[in-house]
Amino acid sequence: MRLMTPTAPAREERLGAIYAFGAYFLWGFMPLYFLLLAPIGPWEIVVWRILFSLVFCALLLTVTRTWPKLIAILRDRRLVFWTIIAGLLIYVNWQVFLIGILTGHVIEGSLGYFINPIVTVLLGVLVLHERLRPAQWAAIALAALAVIVIIVAYGTFPWIALTLAASFGTYGLVKKQIGPKVDAISGLTLESLWLTPIALVQLVVVANTTGLVLGTQGAGHTVLVMLAGVITAVPLLLFAAGARRAPLVVIGLLQFVAPIMQFLTGWWLLGEPMPLERWIGFGLVWVALVVLMVDSVVSARRTRALAGVADLV
């Protein structure tokens, strides 16, 4: 009796899910990694993250012999423009993310990535003029109510969470405009390249104010800082490989791995406060996400069923 083996598409989907999970797991691990870099501050870390990402990507382009792809992208003014916008957005995201981690706001940062799928849906309405289903509107309303609860009851404006959600959601929208014309390595290379002048100015400012930490805390610490480029690039490459293979529904479900890990890091490992008001706010967001995910799964099944009927006809 011959054993049944999975079909090639099924193997590709499974491999895509593994790649995507790896990406989100590494993103969820990032707060712990950046906390290991203390006493370095968030402004200096972003500088090295940009510069070492550029170096690592240049090495990858050389090893994979894909410099011609990058040169072809540089000849397209439209793509260059969108990569500049993407670079600025990811700079804001990186900087605010690191400020949150290194100032004791890891939980608030996780809230931003929990909200991100809802912000993405909202941007689809505002920018792409997409029509939303009732469940999607309900999810947006619940997320808005959660923010109001946190502001009024908890007494703080969650600017870190909202900035992370807005910047990463808009970054995803820009990536959608770019499409498959820019591969992951070339995209990160260009985004890092455009941010290099900002990084150099920021480097000078940090050196003349608080002073640079790199190279002052021993060889081990220096190596950890220099690995920031690898830590930045690897999950992006894994995500790109996973997104090409796994269904969108799988990617949508896996994206919560990172904020769940970040939430547990802040609450369980770092002991950040979670009073009742904050639990209520997070609870509303989680209910909104359940509504959004259930609606997404039902919609995907309905679409497949309609496609199957069309094929029969």
- Which string of DSSP letters, residue by residue, matches 31-59? HHHHHTTTTS-HHHHHHHHHHHHHHHHHH
* Tokens matching residue 50: 């940009």
Residue 84 CB partners (closer than 8 Å, separation 6+):
194
Helix, strand, coil % (nearest 5) of the chain?
80, 0, 20
Q: What is the pLDDT along the chain (313 residues), one digit of tens a residue?
A: 444 455 667 788 888 889 989 999 999 999 999 999 999 999 999 999 999 999 999 999 999 999 999 999 999 999 999 999 999 999 999 999 999 999 999 999 999 999 988 888 888 888 878 888 888 889 889 999 998 988 887 788 999 999 999 998 899 888 888 877 888 889 999 999 999 999 999 999 999 999 999 999 999 999 999 999 999 889 988 888 887 777 766 777 788 899 999 999 999 999 999 999 899 999 999 999 999 888 888 887 777 666 665 555 5
End-to-end CA distance of the chain: 37
